[in-house]
Amino acid sequence: MLLDLFHTFITQFQTPTLAFLIGGMLAAALGCRIDIPDAIYRFCVFMLLMRIGIGAGVEIRNGDLDDMLVPALFSAATGVGIVLLGWFTLARLPGVRRDDALATAGLFGAVSASTMAAGMFMLEDAGIAFEAWIGALYPFMDIPALVLAIVLANLHAQKQQGAGRAQRVAVWPIVKESLQGPALSAMLLGIAIGLLARPEAVYEDFYDLLFRGLLTVLMVVMGIEAYQRLNELRKVAHWYAAYAVIAPITHGLLGFGLGYLAHLWVGFSPGGVILLAVIAASSSDISGPPTLRAGIPSANPSAYLGASTGIGTPVAIALCIPLFLALGQWVFKL
């Protein structure tokens, strides 16, 4: 069983997604001057999220909302659980400031659109079906994680300042900031168009057609940025590096476990279980950082961005996607 699991895991490294990610990291390490403008990167992200959002909206319109309820609740529980795990582990380690730890946990509890897109691509490539509305789970995990991290950080700051009575933390501005972020707003726009319009033709002939090519460009950019972010971790406690390696695997196992319960209770597909584990293993790289920068201004970006982009994202894509794909194939006999 272990040999089969290991063989399935290793074969995933031959997929284009991981090849382009690792290629970007190697190019940066060798000093190659590959320069992909930020506008191109943001366009690729927008296109991928629109593709995922439109597909999710169409599926929700044609499907049964009851099938989404349990996975959505489990997604929210996963986001909250990830922040609480960070609060009780990373925040208690020596040399780690509480606000830095909570910002890091919030970023890991939120969702990476690029990691989710990469997971979908690899499942499609492996011929494993999943619910097209899986992208709609994005905000259910993303928003609770960011809100909880910011609320806990603000309550801790009030306590440190010696406030006699903890003041109420306004939640709606945090939710609003998350919803207005570029990633989540693009996803929600796609879902709305899929729900309210009939975009199937443009979806198939344009967005779906460009999906794989744009994803490879995104992987190269992320590989380059990940290597560049590694230097930032030298400015903070080494615990962040250890957390960035262990956390995606731990969080993915939490998502896989809850997804498996949804599979038993409401028939959540094996592909859906794998993707829930993948988005749980991911850490936000687009909308999360500005939200946390505004919500926890005292947190050190070198800590949460270095841990997330420098190590967490490559671990989630290059390690966790093949790992949970192999685990899903073994558990569900795919």
pLDDT level of residue 268 (50, 70, 90 thresholds): very high
pLDDT digits (tens, 9 = 90+) for 175-220: 777 777 777 788 888 889 988 888 888 888 888 888 778 888 888 8
CA distance 125 to 143: 30
310 in Cβ contact with 304 (< 8 Å): no
Of all residues in the chain, the percent with pLDDT exceeding 70 is 90
Residue 163 pLDDT > 70, yes or no?
no
CA distance 301 to 318: 24
pLDDT level of residue 114 (50, 70, 90 thresholds): confident
The pLDDT, as a whole number, for residue 169 is 64
CATH 1.20.1530.20: does it fit domain 2-331? Answer: yes
Instruction: Give how far Cα 10 sits from Cα of 3, 321, 329, Å.
Output: 10, 11, 13
40 in Cβ contact with 217 (< 8 Å): yes
Reported in sequence order, the residue ranges of the chain that DSSP labels E, i.e. its strands, are none
pLDDT digits (tens, 9 = 90+) for 35-68: 888 888 888 888 888 888 888 888 888 777 778 8
252 in Cβ contact with 324 (< 8 Å): yes
Q: What is the DSSP letter of 306?
A: I
Q: In 3-state terms, what secondary structure has residue 199?
A: coil
**What is the pTM (predicted TM-score) of this model?**
0.84
